[in-house]
Structure 1
Amino acid sequence: MPSNNPPLPSPRRLILGSSSVYRRELLSRLQLSFDTISPDIDEAPLAGEAPEQTALRLARQKAEAIARQAPGALIIGSDQVATLDGEQIGKPGNHANALKQLQKMRGRQVVFHTALCLLDAGAPDAASRLQLVNVQTLVSFRDLPDHELDAYLRIEQPYDCAGSAKNEGLGIAIIEKIESNDPTALTGLPLIALTTMLRNAGMIFFNSSNAPYTSA
């Protein structure tokens, strides 16, 4: 018996332009089919560049780097910059640097700028090709003694995280308050903002195949 449901259009290829396991895990929550490609760009901030500008520029450059390899795809780029008193806080890389970061941030509020870009490489015009937003998160850290900060770092080893704390893990115990309109932004990929962007690009989220179909 023929179905009365209209046929779904062909799926679009969705690409996450990132090597981050945290962003990949977040995007997996949407139950969409996607590929991951690591963009090869220089992530150093430019001289005199504000933290928000750095995050937005890098998110866009990551998406644009992947677009050159994947014409017609929907490409996600994201970048995060943490700041304290206007100074950028990067990934510590090792235990000693991470401890210095946490010592500096304890009892203080840190601003995390999480920039998100959705680039539609198959868009018919420039106006609909690019969506770009910065989601700001304010994180207040607990005023903890050195031995607790040191113990936390040895347990979780968050040396690849800007700010030296994994809020999705044990790091939540050294945080006093998180203020944001997008709760996944701090982990690295603002899913509320992303789903809005994907809908703007014509994506249909709820279909039987869990594939990223679009209306066009």
Structure 2
Amino acid sequence: MLPLLLASSSVYRRDLLARLRLPFNCSSPDIDESHRPGETAIELVKRLSLEKARALATSHPNHLIIGSDQVAVLGGQIIGKPHTYDKAHQQLMSASGASVSFLTGLTLLNSQTGHHQTDCIPFTVHMRTLSAQQIQRYLLAEQPYDCAGSFKAEGLGVSLFQRTEGDDATSLVGLPLIRLVDMLLAEGIAIP
């Protein structure tokens, strides 16, 4: 089995990948994550997941490299990580009573052969109608400023949801394990 490398510094993705009980290492790729003019959200996350994996291929030959990237889309607009309380509050007020689509690009690159598998996995969160006070309490309790959409689905953020829709809940956290297992199986990795 070729060694696995997660092309990410995300603790959330690392924790998800650990669920598969396969040995892996992590390395953070250095790429430009800018949105290109005319690029759809799906094209963006697929391109970035592939670029993240390719950025580490030279320094990690003979590896299976996992690249992933995620965006949240609200009202047809990409919303990113808020980084501040004020931006998070704005995002959650805009999402109140609405649906937020999370698109996660996933790539598995065999750096030995150059072969890659790339996909985009969607997941939708239908938000409750939220008051300014509910949003404030949530943000102060969890401080999800490094999360697209301004909430942590694996934590208290689930209390903001009315319902969810999608094939793989792990895609909401940033690494779609069901699709990743398909890709790993196609590379001959035995799971479990």
Structure 2 residues without counterparts, runs of 5 or longer:
none
Q: Are 1:163 and 2:153 matched, yes or no?
A: no
Alignment partner, residue 54 of structure 1: 44
Q: Which has the larger radius of gyration?
A: 1
Aligned to 1:145: 131
Equivalent pairs: percent with the same residue? 46
Which residue in 2 is equivalent to 1:36?
A: 26
Partners of 2:112 and 2:38 lie apart in 1 by 34
Amino acid at match of 2:146: D
Count of matched residue positions in the alignment of Structure 1 and Structure 2: 192
With the length of structure 1 as denominator, give the TM-score of the two structures. 0.87
| Two-structure CA RMSD over aligned residues (Å) | 0.8
Q: Which runs of 4+ in 1 moved over 3 A?
A: none
Structure 1 residues without counterparts, runs of 5 or longer: 1-10, 207-216
Q: Secondary structure at the match of 1:116?
A: strand
Instruction: Please point out which of 140, 158, 163 is paired with 1:154.
Output: 140
What is the SS of the residue equivalent to 1:56? Answer: helix
> Match of 1:172?
158
Instruction: State the shift of 1:205 in Å.
Output: 2.4
Give the match's secondary structure for 2:121.
Answer: strand
Alpha-carbon deviations, 1:116-168, whole Å to 9, x = none? 00001112xx5xx1100100111111101001101100000000000001000
Which runs of structure 2 are paired with 1:94-173 in the superposition (5 Å)?
A: 94-123=84-113, 129-173=115-159
SS in 2 for 1:78: strand
Q: Give the Cα–Cα distance (whole angstroms) in 2 for the partners of residues 173 and 41 of structure 1.
A: 34
